[in-house]
């Protein structure tokens, strides 16, 4: 089965404390809400301590056109994407020797927070020495589920081409979608939650020359499952307007997780002859504190099972598709031979992406 060999991150340089963002939101929203102080508790209750943004906080105090935001997205995505790829292929955490760029057969680029044609990986290929024959598979619009979905598609590619080395590059600059004149509660919640981050993962087939690893074991992808709930397109996503992307973020997401995820996950595990009690690592996309609590409630997990996801949320916020790859990197360190992991992420559609992993 295809294996996950290396994971690396690239975070924007602007680090913003959650209290700074809360004060920014207070100034912005106070005239629209008489109970602003009550609503601002979402900044503290979410347990996020800091986030990384593509621009400093002063940049968001001014209006910017859709073009200005998207130009900033492309510039930052190329810079951070190249940084994450280089870190992944030269990782001193996971690789005993560097992987040449020319050996990469395909790049899956995942994003939902900006638009680029040519796509971001094509622009990066002008900076880094990839083969001109490297296949490009840009995937747009999967939101928070995109990182897990990218891993699943890379797994399928390596099943079809078992000698392949494939990159999954998740690029999300959520802050650049911020709408200064949107006074909806969805925007307020989004302002308290979303952040920027890039991650890159190397996935390899099992018939090629195996890379030399530092650690004794690495997770293999055993199975995947994609599920889309019918008639649920209003749960999360973007509303595209002249000024750019406006967030759609239903308050019902935690309750949907709690009711819908368990039968979905249990069916997936049963089809692969695995019981929930056998899961050693729960690699969950931390959509927010309430979503993490809904995972625990739905799957009867003890808090320790979601501790890593919560820690990533505290340090980075919700970086959409990139976030689960940040979580995965931490489990790459703690996983041992024979461990079984369940990766889960939810996104627009409303949809879920599940992966079953085994360390070997």
Residue with tokens 């638009």: 115
φ, ψ dihedrals at 36, nearest 5°: -60, -40
Cβ proximity of 118 and 127 under 8 Å? no
Bond from prior residue into 118 cis (ω within 30 degrees of 0) = yes
Residue with tokens 């992406």: 353
Active site residue 88: no
Give the separation between CA 188 and CA 107, rounded to whole angstroms.
35
| DSSP element (H, E) containing 175 | none
Give the separation between CA 170 and CA 158, rounded to whole angstroms.
18
Residue with tokens 């004794």: 216
Give the separation between CA 190 and CA 154, rounded to whole angstroms.
30
Give the SS3 label for residue 143.
helix
First and final CA of the chain: distance in angstroms? Answer: 10
Tokens of 28: 């912005």
Helices and strands counted in the chain (H then E)? 11, 13
DSSP state of 224: E
The residues facing 296 across adjacent strands are none
Cβ proximity of 121 and 78 under 8 Å? no
Angle, alpha carbons 292-297-300 (nearest 5°): 115
Neighbours of 62 (CB within 10 A): 8
Give the SS3 label for residue 312.
helix
Listed residue (126, 143, 125) closest to 134, CA to CA: 125
Tokens of 174: 């959520």
Catalytic site residue from 76, 144, 158, 200:
144
**Residues catalogued as catalytic:** 144
């Amino acid at each position: 089965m295809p294996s996950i060999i290396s994971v690396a991150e690239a975070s924007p340089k602007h680090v913003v404390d959650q209290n700074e963002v809360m004060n920014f939101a207070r100034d912005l929203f106070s005239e629209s809400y008489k109970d602003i102080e009550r609503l601002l508790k979402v900044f503290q209750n979410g347990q996020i301590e800091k986030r990384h943004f593509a621009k400093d906080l002063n940049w968001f105090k001014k209006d910017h056109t859709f073009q200005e935001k998207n130009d900033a997205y492309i510039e930052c995505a190329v810079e951070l994407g190249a940084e994450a790829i280089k870190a992944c292929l030269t990782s001193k955490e996971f690789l005993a020797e560097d992987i040449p760029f020319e050996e990469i057969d395909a790049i899956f680029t995942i994003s939902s927070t900006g638009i680029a044609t040519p796509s971001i990986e094509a622009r990066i290929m002008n900076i880094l020495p990839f083969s001109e024959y490297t296949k490009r598979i840009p995937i747009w619009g999967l939101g928070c589920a995109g990182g897990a979905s990218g891993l699943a598609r890379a797994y399928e590619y390596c099943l079809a081409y078992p000698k392949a080395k494939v990159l999954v590059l998740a690029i999300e600059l959520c802050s650049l979608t911020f709408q200064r004149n949107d006074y909806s509660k969805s925007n307020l919640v989004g302002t308290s939650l979303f952040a920027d981050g890039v991650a890159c993962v190397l996935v390899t087939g099992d018939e090629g020359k195996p890379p030399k690893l530092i650690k004794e074991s690495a997770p293999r992808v055993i199975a995947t499952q994609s599920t889309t709930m019918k008639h649920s397109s209003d749960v999360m996503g973007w509303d595209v307007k002249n000024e750019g992307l406006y967030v759609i973020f239903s308050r019902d997401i935690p309750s949907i997780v709690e009711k819908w995820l368990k039968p979905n996950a249990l069916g997936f595990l049963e089809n692969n002859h695995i019981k929930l009690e056998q899961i050693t690592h729960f690699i969950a996309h931390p959509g927010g504190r309430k979503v993490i609590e809904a995972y625990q409630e739905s799957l009867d997990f003890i808090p320790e099972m979601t501790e890593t996801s919560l820690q990533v949320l505290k340090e980075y916020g919700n970086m959409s598709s990139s976030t689960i790859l940040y979580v995965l990197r931490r489990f790459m360190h703690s996983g041992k031979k024979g461990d079984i992991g369940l990766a889960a992420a939810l996104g627009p559609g409303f949809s879920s992406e599940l992966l079953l992993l085994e360390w070997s």
